[in-house]
Structures are given as C-alpha cells and as structure tokens.
Amino acid sequence: MAKREIIAIGGSAGSIEVIRRICLALPTDLEASVLIAVHVGASDRDLLAAILDSGGPLPASTALDGEPLQEAHVYVAPPDHHLVIDGHFARLGRGPRENMARPAIDPLFRSAGISAGPRAIGVLLSGLLNDGASGLADLKRCGGVTVVQSPLDAVQGEMPRTALLASDIDYRAPARDLGELVVRLAREEPGPALTPPESVALEVAIALGRPSDTPTIAGIADPVPLACPACGGTLSQVRRSPLRFRCQVGHGYTAEALAHEQEGSVDEAFRIALRVIGERVVLMEKMTLDALQAGRATAAAGFEQRSQEYRRSAAVVMEAALKR
C-alpha cells in the first residue's frame, strides 16, 4: 500500500524542544524518513542530531551528502549547508543563502515536494520572519501535506503565522499534538500525484550549488529596481507566490526578510549621513576661524553661513531617523 515516506521538518528560534517532542512520538516501525532543517550559524556546533539520537526511539544523525535515505531514521542538516532530497538520497548544498540562512527551510520543503510529491509531509515550527512559508506552498503545489505549529502555541509565532497566510495549510496543531498528527499522516494513503513546476526544481538546484546567472533567474523571475543586501546585485521578483525575490547570484528573500535586511541598511545610511554632515560642520567652523584670523571677514561670513546650513541639515536627518 502506498504511504507517505518523507517527513520534512523546519524550525528556528524556539523549535528545538518541539522537534524533540515530535521525535519522541515517532514509532520504531515508522515507514518514513525524517529530515530536519533548523537555522544555525556556520560556526555553530552540530549538536541536534546527538540530542535526538540519545533521547528518542529513532536513530538520528547529521546528514551526509549522497547517503541513501532509510526508513525510521532522522537526518539533521549540518551547519552552513542546505539539506535537500534527491529521489531516495540526502544531498547537501552550499548554494546561496535563502532568507539569510544556510541551512534554510524552503529548499528542504521544495525538494520534498519534487522528490516525493503526495508522499511528503512538511512541518513548519516556531521561528522569526518567514523562511519555510514559500517552501510549504511549493510542497503543496507538488501534492504534499502541509502542517504548521499553532502560532499562539509557538515561542516565536511569526514563521507559522506567515505560512498560514502564504498558502492553504492542511493542518495546524500545538506542539503537544504534532507528533501524533505526523504519525497519523505518515500512515495515511497519499493523494494523487501532481506535476511539479519546473521553477521549483530550478530553485532546489540553486540551493545545491548550481551556478546561477541572469538568464537562469530570468526563467523564474522578473527584474525589479531593488538591490540584493548580500551582494548588491539586481533583484528579480519570483513569479510564484508568495512574494519573493532572487538576485543573479541566487540569494533569495521573502518580502519580509528583505525588508528586515533593508532596515539595517537604512539605519547605517542615517549614521553615515550624520557623521559626514557633522564633519562638514567642524570643517566649516575651522575655516571660519582661520578666515577671521587672516582678516578675511567676507569669507568668514560665508563659511559660517555654510556651517549653519549643515547644522540645519543634520537636524532634519536626525528628526527623520527618530520618526522611523
């Protein structure tokens, strides 16, 4: 009998305890592979697999590139690598970051949809911003089942909340019920297979490290007058919903993640503007004093006037910064 054979789980801040609870509920005869992507820094220690392996009924390990997927086994994405599914194999990629993260959740969900379609389950847990939302939408486009942790139950409800807004999520549940729900879904007969969009497969390839360039991105997105915060390249708007962007290098952003990154750039621009204007004020003051000492009253008056103009400009910039 057909079964759901892939359980893909993604989370960020506040998700580790929920992942542990889900894994504790998984039976030893589970006829599915479990793959987990959690946001960690490139220099972070790889501890999650050891925690799950020692504290749960199923063996858990950090995923290795190219290893065959086994039933009743938990695979965890290592730091600084995207974890994706390629047929019946785990693959690791160092493609561009998505939503400032590597590993990112979206590539795992997309690859689950491409490789398993209706035989895949995607589970999105607690976290900030909205990595995972577009991946769940793509998994559903491929026929997979989508689950989110109830936002009010999550330590950080932003990721599950934005996923609920981005697509028609099949199930939501609090942490205490997610394990039982996942087990039940894994034992159900899957729905009909759907044809995955080619653009979804292309984004999985980018996560694996496929070279990305302008013609490649043009196949899935249209240029917009926005710059990539990571590399400064031109961003293009991905044609599939929810609203997302990619640059020619392949860096990917949801609209919310892009706005979050731009916020820091705007703050830095204000700081630079105030510093430059302040330096001009100091310079004009010194030039005024020098002109007075040299008996050049007209020049001194001109320098003093410019100094006052710079002070007014600084006040305007400061007022704008405080109103943000």
Task: Indicate the SS3 state at residue 295.
Answer: coil
How long a stretch of residues is the chain? 324
Q: Residue 88 is encoded by which pair of tokens?
A: 């019946």
Respond yes or no: is residue 39 known to be catalytic.
yes
Residue 278: φ, ψ to 5°: -60, -40
Candidate list 12, 33, 111, 115, residue with the active-site label: 12
Burial 1-13 (b: 16+ CB within 10 A, else e): eeebbbbbbbbbb
| Residue in 131, 138, 167, 212 annotated catalytic | 131
Q: Is 313 noted as a catalytic residue in this protein?
A: no
260 is catalytic: no
Quote the DSSP letter at residue 65: T
Helices (H) and strands (E) in the chain, counts: 10, 13
- The token pair at 129 is 């911003």
Q: Residues 39, 81, 82, 251: which is the catalytic one?
A: 39
The alpha helices in 33-104, defined as continuous H runs, are 48-55
Question: Catalytic residue numbers?
Answer: 12, 39, 131
